[in-house]
Chains A and B, each alone.
Chain A
Amino acid sequence: MLVSLYRYNPEQDNAPYMQDIELDIPAGKDLMVLDVLALLKEKDPTLAYRRSCREGVCGSDGMNMNGKNGLGCITPISEVVKKDKLVIRPLPGLPVIRDLVVDMGIFYEQYERITPYLVNDTPAPEIERLQSPEDREKLDGLYECILCACCSTACPSFWWNPEKFVGPAGLLQAYRFLADSRDTAQEERLSDLDDPFSVFRCRGIMNCVAVCPKGLNPTKAIGHIRDLLLQRAT
């Protein structure tokens, strides 16, 4: 199999380049893309990429494989390799630090901007705050986000305005707290989002939905936020 790998070491290279490597894949095993990278790193320790849990829950190894964002650790090569070729690039739209490692600063800033924690001004009870299973169900499809940035870096609106548009990942989390029956800051949360960029730069392209490795639907969550903003304004 031919692996075409995005390489960039700021101390040595003036510009990034694609490195083509012929790799023998052990027969009878459907490796994950992350396993392929590990094999490559055994041969060339200078290859840099992030990884941690290797089971799709930590969100470290978001990358672009044959043109599509995903997690290297749960993407089998059988699913992604075409014509015996695998092109691996860093997540698009973020500055590259080295090889497949991108600077996720702006992505995290957008997450921090949406007040990503529960706010409840009422005194906490002795036990837990009660929540019905129905109310809890509203958080399904929202709280599972692993902050891998596959969605936001697949979003053209985020590419153009990463400082102003919160992006699908941040908005999914924004709605996770708006939808939580225990949260009392809905009004403030909505005020913080009521501008032409933060939410409304979403154009419904739905790349986020197409790439989310956890099968979540940020576009739907953004639609819910827009409905809440409309309800509040009319």
Chain B
Amino acid sequence: MGKIRTISYDAIVVGGGGAGMRAALQLTETGVDTACITKVFPTRSHTVSAQGGITCAIASADPNDDWRWHMYDTVKGSDYIGDQEAIEYMCSVGPQAVFELEHMGLPFSRTEQGRIYQRPFGGQSKDYGKGGQAARTCAAADRTGHALLHTLYQANLKGGTTFLNEWYAIDLVKNSDQQVVGVIAIEIETGEVVYIKSKATVLATGGAGRIYASTTNALINTGDGIGMALRAGYPVQDMEMWQFHPTGIYGAGTLVTEGCRGEGGYLINSEGERFMERYAPNAKDLAGRDVVARSMVIEVLEGRGCGPEKDHVLLKLDHLGEETLNLRLPGIVELSRTFAHVDPIKDPVPVVPTCHYMMGGIPTTVGGQALTQDKEGNDQVIDGLFACGEAACVSVHGANRLGGNSLLDLVVFGRAAGLHIEERLRGGYESGDASEDDINRALARLERLESSTGTESVAAVRKDLQSCMQLYFGVFRDGDSMGEGLKKLDAIGERARNVQIGDNSKAFNTARIEALELDNLFEVAYATAYSAMERRESRGAHARNDYTERDDENWLKHSVYFPLEKRLGKRDVNFAPKTVDTLQPMIRTY
């Protein structure tokens, strides 16, 4: 490949979802020359699918609500490996970030007082778990993600952010000083490959739910940022922690919001029993997502599943009445009719735990600064690289994310990354140029793919990868079977390096993009499998049959997967919030 064109910006944001656009907005508004590179038009990003809302103590539903209670819930929900400083930051800055969204025009649902409507969600409590269920999730009907994403796009149009729409970032460019100095990207429409140079590169590429066969995630959620970081040799954190959402529509995988249960819906088994009363006597259907998902799987395994295959349970909503459903959950009514062929106003919706969210990601500071570890295991800054949103692991979700905290994570840490980068650039941060060799190194993968003489089809390898992850690394995990899964993954990896894209044209070549995405899916899947195998305990979303207990002595830690050495290290969890007392690990019950 000959010399390629270079485009320069002060900062680039890879990803046009909620986190990416919030970061881009912050940067643009403070005068930083910023481009947002996004493989789909921004409003097609997966944030658009978020339904239930954004959890935040804005004290609308309850005037006495306190962000510290939200912090308590989040720490408990994380099964105590969420970083308390980051959680403190998110919960305390949250209200400001949410009000900003409202000022930008987000059409929140309203209370009679004219304030933002808040609904109950799972894992929420008042008064540090002692005051009963809280209603803390700010909602725009059940289309909060859609409303949020469109509002952020609109704000960026107003602010004048440069969008490189339908450009696909392939790999990070590192210079000889080990600074990240931009990305190699391809303009999908023309097929032109370009070096996009930048002093700050923000990975806001979202999740990678497509490593599983059954997922609520969009087809575009292929973990591109994680793949790029891993290929550049940077570590990822807590990758074994994958949230399985209790209510994915059976057969289709599309999400039905936890807000359904927040509004009063509940799960029943084949005997018509509201089984969550047994597993979580207090919170019932609004226990943590990991708890509910596991309970559902146990019901199915013990023969109380519904349907001819007895392989799912039902979500009962009809008792809420047509009016409430149409007012509060109109999107759910629509989705159920389309994908479950069920009218929730009359009949319960068949649901099954479905891969939903990646708690792990690129380890970062509160300001989005990406981190690695030095030889002694101390945190070390990766110059020029930042991450936010689902691709990052700040970590506010630890081993299990609470419903409604993902949208808050996006806006709070997208904003924080923008603030931090602006500060660094103002402070005179400079990075050296990339040499031709540096650029060529980042181009290597694309060149290999273009000249591949392989025989494997992308679709077939991807399908096998997804089945493997689903089978061996699902809701319940077991050492022996994970070992088997890892072996299979090795073979799949071999095949992934041997794919033939079958289309060498330039214009809008989606076959090429899917082949590049497959590499990223594999990187994420492997990091997940390896980390899951090594974390020998059960915590949050990571439930092992061979290590059923939480092991605080050895594993009250983040796992850190190093791709070059294929090694799982550990990293200390932050227990030092700045303004409140540390929340000590306790037994987690709902």
With A46-B511, A128-B115 known as contacts, the answer to whether A139 contacts B157 (CB < 8 A) is: no
Q: Is A21 an interface residue (CB 8 A)?
A: no
CB distance B505 to A12 under 8 Å? yes
With A42-B459, A45-B458, A146-B146 known as contacts, the answer to whether A58 contacts B48 (CB < 8 A) is: yes
A121 to B299, CA, bound (A): 56
Contact with A along B131-163 (1 / 0, CB 8 A): 000000000100100110010001101100000
Interface 9-mer from A111-119, A201-209, A225-233: A111-119
Contact with B along A101-115 (1 / 0, CB 8 A): 100100010001000
CB distance A143 to B41 under 8 Å? no
Task: Give every chain B residue within 8 A of A10 (Cβ-Cβ).
Answer: 507
Q: Is A180 an interface residue (CB 8 A)?
A: yes
CB distance A117 to B155 under 8 Å? yes
Checking A41, A117, A144 against B104 with a beta-carbon cut-off of 8 angstroms, the contacting residue is: A117
Nearest B residue to A54, CB-CB: B219
Nearest B residue to A215, CB-CB: B334
Q: Which of B285-338 contact A (CB under 8 A)?
A: 331, 334-335, 338
Q: Which of A42-69 contact B (CB under 8 A)?
A: 42, 45-46, 48-60
CB distance A128 to B44 under 8 Å? no
A135 to B278, CA, bound (A): 43
A180 to B154, CA, bound (A): 15
Task: Give every chain A residue within 8 A of B147 (Cβ-Cβ).
Answer: 143
Q: What number of A-B contacts does a CB cutoff of 8 Å give?
A: 153
CB distance B111 to A180 under 8 Å? no
Q: Is A130 an interface residue (CB 8 A)?
A: yes
Task: Give every chain B residue within 8 A of A135 (Cβ-Cβ).
Answer: 110
Contact with B along A164-202 (1 / 0, CB 8 A): 000000000000010010110000000000000000000
A94 to B335, CA, bound (A): 29
Q: Is A11 an interface residue (CB 8 A)?
A: yes
A112 to B459, CA, bound (A): 37
With A11-B506, A59-B44, A112-B157 known as contacts, the answer to whether A128 contacts B102 (CB < 8 A) is: yes
CB distance A55 to B40 under 8 Å? no
Q: Which of A129-157 contact B (CB under 8 A)?
A: 129-133, 135-136, 139, 143-144, 146-147
Task: Give every chain A residue within 8 A of B154 (Cβ-Cβ).
Answer: 116-118
Chain B: minimal CB distance from A225 (Å): 18
The size of the chain A interface, using a CB distance under 8 A, is 54
Chain A: minimal CB distance from B44 (Å): 4
CB distance A46 to B41 under 8 Å? no
A118 to B107, CA, bound (A): 10
Q: Is B177 an interface residue (CB 8 A)?
A: no
Task: Give every chain A residue within 8 A of B254 (Cβ-Cβ).
Answer: 54-55
Q: Is A27 an interface residue (CB 8 A)?
A: no
CB distance A9 to B507 under 8 Å? yes
A182 to B155, CA, bound (A): 15
A58 to B154, CA, bound (A): 16
CB distance B338 to A52 under 8 Å? no
Checking A57, A117, A120, A124 against B48 with a beta-carbon cut-off of 8 angstroms, the contacting residue is: A57
A98 to B505, CA, bound (A): 11
Task: Give every chain B residue within 8 A of A127 (Cβ-Cβ).
Answer: 58, 95, 99, 115
CB distance A52 to B116 under 8 Å? no
CB distance A118 to B146 under 8 Å? no
Checking A49, A54, A76 against B218 with a beta-carbon cut-off of 8 angstroms, the contacting residue is: A54
CB distance A98 to B507 under 8 Å? yes
Q: Is A97 an interface residue (CB 8 A)?
A: yes
> Which among B113, B335, B510 has the greatest number of chain A C-beta atoms within 10 A?
B510
A142 to B514, CA, bound (A): 34
Checking A9, A124, A143, A146 against B505 with a beta-carbon cut-off of 8 angstroms, the contacting residue is: A9
Task: Give every chain B residue within 8 A of A124 (Cβ-Cβ).
Answer: 99, 103
Q: Is B105 an interface residue (CB 8 A)?
A: yes
Q: Is A81 an interface residue (CB 8 A)?
A: no
CB distance A131 to B508 under 8 Å? no
CB distance B103 to A128 under 8 Å? yes
With A48-B510, A53-B44, A55-B255 known, 12 other A-B pairs at CB within 8 A are A41-B511, A50-B44, A55-B252, A55-B339, A104-B41, A117-B157, A124-B103, A127-B95, A128-B108, A133-B109, A143-B150, A180-B105
Can you pick out 5 interface pairs between chain A and chain B where the beta carbons lie within 8 Å of each other? A45-B511, A52-B46, A52-B220, A112-B157, A117-B104
Binding site for B on A (CB under 8 A): 9-12, 41-42, 45-46, 48-60, 74, 76, 97-99, 101, 104, 108, 112, 116-118, 120, 124, 126-133, 135-136, 139, 143-144, 146-147, 177, 180, 182-183
